[in-house]
Amino acid sequence: MKLIAEKSSLLSASDIVACDLVRGREFGDVWHYHPACEITLVRKGGSARWVGDRLDPLVPGDLVFLGPDLPHDYRNAPLPNRRPQSVEWVVVHFMPHALGQDWQKHATLDPLRRLFDRARRGLRVGGRTRDRVEDILLRMVRAHGIRRLILLLELLDLLANSRQLTEISSEGFRMETPAYASDRIGAACATIEQHLTSPVRVPDLARMTGLSESAFSRLFKKCTNSTIPQYVNRLRIAHACRLLAETDMTVAEIIRACGYLSPAHFQREFQKIHRHSPQAYRASLRGAV
């Protein structure tokens, strides 16, 4: 996993708005960013969504709006002893200046300007707004030319006036680190993910990237806006959420599978991130509360 800067080739020369319904075994993404705005609706499959400095479990129906140059990645890792499921998603790309070079100067478009400002952290769309946006996206897949642009404007107007949007990455997250520096951190993050249940040793990660421990820790914090323990904890909690959602493993089994030595520590960290106990989180997903 390394950070890759994509160019505006996401859009063909003839496209103002690109919109596709995609099916496959995986999302085909890497940890990357691009100058286009992106709207993604996951309809089937997937295991995790990484936007900025936030890694969250992915569930069908997940809908996000990402501003330009915001690093992101979608994953479809199989559960233990299971074959990977297929994925299906709708993805829209358009450039921020699709509405014109000076559109932000018009006072009547202030709600839209605020929407784009918020989208620089990534926005998760929920509630009835999500349902209405999904309907528009499915119509966009079948539309072409000016009709597709009209639907995009309808969608943006809906989002700009909705109170059902939640910022994803932290307020302090900014992507300012050159991609070549992030490549080292990407390699370290991949190693952490591959050995999630094992103790994480900073000296080993620093040695792997060819940096001193202090230089590695500083670069890691700059790239991820997290310390190494914070990142590992977030990754383990995200994995626990998926196991709670998709398996019948007991909480004790999940604690071990996620690399926690102390059940009390796991419960405390889970509560801190999700404001529910693991048991309540599972029950809410299954409609029991």
Sketch out the chain's domains with CATH numbers: 4-167 (2.60.120.280), 179-285 (1.10.10.60)
- For residue 223, pLDDT over 80 is answered with no
Spell out the residues 6+ positions from residue 1 whose beta carbon is closer than 8 angstroms to its own: 30, 31, 73, 186, 187, 189, 190, 193
Question: pTM (2 decimals)?
Answer: 0.64
- For residue 12, pLDDT over 70 is answered with no
Cβ proximity of 244 and 254 under 8 Å: yes
- Range with the largest mean pLDDT of 156-170, 189-203, 232-246: 156-170
pLDDT (average), residues 185-195: 81
- Residue 161: DSSP 8-state: T
Tell me the pLDDT tens digit for each residue of 128-177: 999 999 999 999 999 998 999 999 999 999 999 999 999 998 665 554 44
* Of residues 11 and 147, more confidently modeled: 147
Cβ proximity of 216 and 181 under 8 Å: no
d(CA 52, CA 173): 7
* Of residues 94 and 175, more confidently modeled: 94
- For residue 56, pLDDT over 90 is answered with no
Q: Is 171 exposed, middle or buried (0-12, 13-18, 19+ CB in 10 A)?
A: exposed
- For residue 181, pLDDT over 90 is answered with no
For the chain, the 3-state helix, strand and coil shares in percent, each to the nearest 5, are: 45, 15, 35
Neighbours of 257 (CB within 10 A): 17
Chain-centre distance of CA 64, in angstroms? 8
Name the average pLDDT for the chain. 84
Cβ proximity of 54 and 241 under 8 Å: no
d(CA 84, CA 208): 30
